[in-house]
Structure 1
Amino acid sequence: MKINRMGKLDLLVTEFCIGALPMGPLQANIPIDHGAHLIRKAWDNGVNFFDTAEIYQTYPYLQKALADRPEAIIATKSTVSTYEEMEKSINKAQQELGRSVINIFHLHAARSTPAVFEERKGALECLKDYKKKGIIQAIGISTHAVDVVEKAAEEPNIDVIFPIINIDGMGIIRGNTTTMIKTIQKASMRGKGIYAMKVLAGGHCIDRIFDAIEFVRNIREISSIAIGVVREVELDFHLLHFNQQPIPKELLNQCLDRKQKKPVILNNCRKCRLCSETCPSGAITMGSDRPSINMEKCLACGYCLPVCPEFNIRFA
């Protein structure tokens, strides 16, 4: 499997990165043993890069799979704003991942504006301090917004950027595929490491899976592509694809034969608007009695689930 350097860092990552989001309770909620099996199988087949986040609640999957593999590269994220909150997030990641060093720690900023660096100044200061201590190797930001990527490229303390990019431009905020690629290229020229999310647009591009993945692979500034898996056939497909090996027709059909779960809003809504404010793709809008979801925009990220105070959103 192809290995790329992450920007100017001494981190060599596989082109295929396992995204842990779909495994956890925000999406498929598969058993920890099964998720850990998939992660370990990926590792045993050459994948060395794994992406997670505090909000995903998937640390136990990675800990179980990679406890004896400290050389595995793990990126995580936190949505917090203050120094004290970020310190707690770092400690939580260390404890629940079973690691003294976190390779990449992001400001989790899916729908933030360029003001995020000022708004989360305390959290960023904490990451800087922990990088000086050697507990964090690299500081990053994950975002869906073109202008945040542009701002991050100018921020000297940001080493890695994790932007959304896909062939249809779904989920890109304040821009489109063309402007995001141009901004990624500028960020790379400034020495930032780049890896990509949502290349299948939350399942919307699954019927064009080869074209969608190859589109992003051909952006040479991108070092790795994070893709989530919850079934063994999905993992087998990506292992073959990223190793430039032929895909058996039966495996492809099995991989594509999956009902894409989407969020459903139940009746017990207090109209707090937290779900619509959280949605990074602008898919949720407030109706007269409850929110509605535009499935053409929904990326199936699951970020709306934990913010609902009434536990009124489910994936089905």
Structure 2
Amino acid sequence: MQYRQLGRTGMKVSELCFGALPMGPRQKNIDVDTCTRIIKKALDGGVNFIDTAQIYETYEPIRRALQGHNREVVIATKSSATTYDDMEQAIREAREKLAVDYIHIFHLHAARATANIFEERAGAFRCLLDAQEKGLIGAVGLSTHGVAAVRKAATVKEIEVIFPLLNIAGMGIIDGSREDMLAAIAVAVDAGKGVYLMKALAGGNLLGRYHDAMAFARQVPGIAAVAVGMVNETEVDYNLGYFNGADPGPVETSTKGFAVVESVCSGDGACLQACTNEAITMVNGKARINPDKCLLCGYCTEVCPHFAIRMI
């Protein structure tokens, strides 16, 4: 396993970052004991970097997996809070549920962020800076799918870490192409920001191209790590093997996706606004998901007032 410096944060992280989104209730909704076992396996295999978020609801298995682990594990979390008070609560929640005094990285969680993100989230941003000054968090970051937001974050000295979406197919990138995002990341790296990547497999859409997709992501100049979601021990073994230089053979692909229960859907359209990749349309007053565009992020499930969107 390679370990790389994360920009100028002083943190050294494993190239393989454990992405905690898919195991939580937004996607697979795996029980806590199983989640704990999966995370422990990754940590025992050399992973020292975990990415999670307030809305992922995966703090409990991470806390359990850290118990008794004898190496420091870098935890990155995030919140979509917009106000000072809400972000303060998000920080408190993370520290309490993870049973830690200190969070290594805390991001503004803003998939659809524009270049105005730091004005739009001024209260939350100020809270993160205050928490950093108090020693509650190590680095302030931005998690985004947008090119303009990455470019803006590269110019903001208080932002030390950027977590952008990038994959070989360019799926899910907002306000630009794959090449545009690569250029924005290069600007961020040149500015000394720590950068690690999300959605290298486009939420599972590129599993059939695993080796090409991962080779592309790993070769982006200056990035520290690639976050990969893993929902069983077989996936952990496969990714550990690949990132440790072995040839684990062809990846086993499985079909998964989100579907709308039309009898429950009210047609209110909240999911359309939440979708970062325009994968949802309205057909005869009901939401419909295009599986070819869906990144399996689960953001639509969070906003549906009737829980009409289910993973299948």
Q: TM-score range by the shorter chain?
A: over 0.9
One-letter identity of the residue aligned with 1:111: R
Question: How far apart are the structure 1 equivalents of 2:213 and 2:259?
Answer: 23
Does the 8 Å CA contact 2:41/2:233 hold for their aligned counterparts?
no
Once the two structures are superposed, residues 172-205 of structure 1 have per-residue CA deviations (whole angstroms, 9 ceiling, x without a partner) of 0011111100110001100111000000011111
1:175 equivalent to 2:169? Answer no
Question: How far apart are the structure 2 equivalents of 1:262 and 1:314?
Answer: 5
Aligned equivalent of 1:149: 150
Once the two structures are superposed, residues 42-89 of structure 1 have per-residue CA deviations (whole angstroms, 9 ceiling, x without a partner) of 111111000000001111110110133472100000001000000000
Once the two structures are superposed, residues 77-134 of structure 1 have per-residue CA deviations (whole angstroms, 9 ceiling, x without a partner) of 0001000000000000001111110000000000121111111100000000000011
Q: CA deviation at 1:157?
A: 1.3
1:29 equivalent to 2:19? Answer no
Question: How far apart are the structure 1 equivalents of 2:151 and 2:253?
Answer: 38
Question: How far apart are the structure 1 equivalents of 2:67 and 2:138?
Answer: 19
1:286 equivalent to 2:287? Answer no
TM-score, structure 2 as length reference: 0.97
One-letter identity of the residue aligned with 2:275: C
Please show how residues 90-169 of structure 1 align to structure 2 within 5 Å.
Answer: 90-169=91-170
Question: How far apart are the structure 1 equivalents of 2:261 and 2:9?
Answer: 43
Question: How far apart are the structure 2 equivalents of 1:161 and 1:57?
Answer: 22
Count of paired positions: 311
Q: CA deviation at 1:212?
A: 0.4
Question: How far apart are the structure 1 equivalents of 2:26 and 2:207?
Answer: 20
1:264 equivalent to 2:260? Answer yes
Q: CA deviation at 1:270?
A: 2.5
SS at match of 1:260: coil
Question: How far apart are the structure 2 equivalents of 1:198 and 1:207?
Answer: 14
Question: How far apart are the structure 1 equivalents of 2:153 and 2:307?
Answer: 34
1:274 equivalent to 2:270? Answer yes
Question: How far apart are the structure 1 equivalents of 2:118 and 2:67?
Answer: 33
One-letter identity of the residue aligned with 1:196: L
The alignment's C-alpha RMSD in Å is 1.2
Question: How far apart are the structure 1 equivalents of 2:262 and 2:157?
Answer: 45
Aligned equivalent of 1:306: 302
Does the 8 Å CA contact 1:265/1:292 hold for their aligned counterparts?
no
Question: How far apart are the structure 2 equivalents of 1:52 and 1:81?
Answer: 18
Question: How far apart are the structure 2 equivalents of 1:6 and 1:65?
Answer: 23
Does the 8 Å CA contact 1:20/1:229 hold for their aligned counterparts?
yes
TM-score, structure 1 as length reference: 0.96
Q: What percent of counterpart residues are identical?
A: 46
Q: CA deviation at 1:246?
A: 2.6
One-letter identity of the residue aligned with 2:234: V
Q: CA deviation at 1:266?
A: 2.9
Does the 8 Å CA contact 1:67/1:98 hold for their aligned counterparts?
no
One-letter identity of the residue aligned with 2:183: K
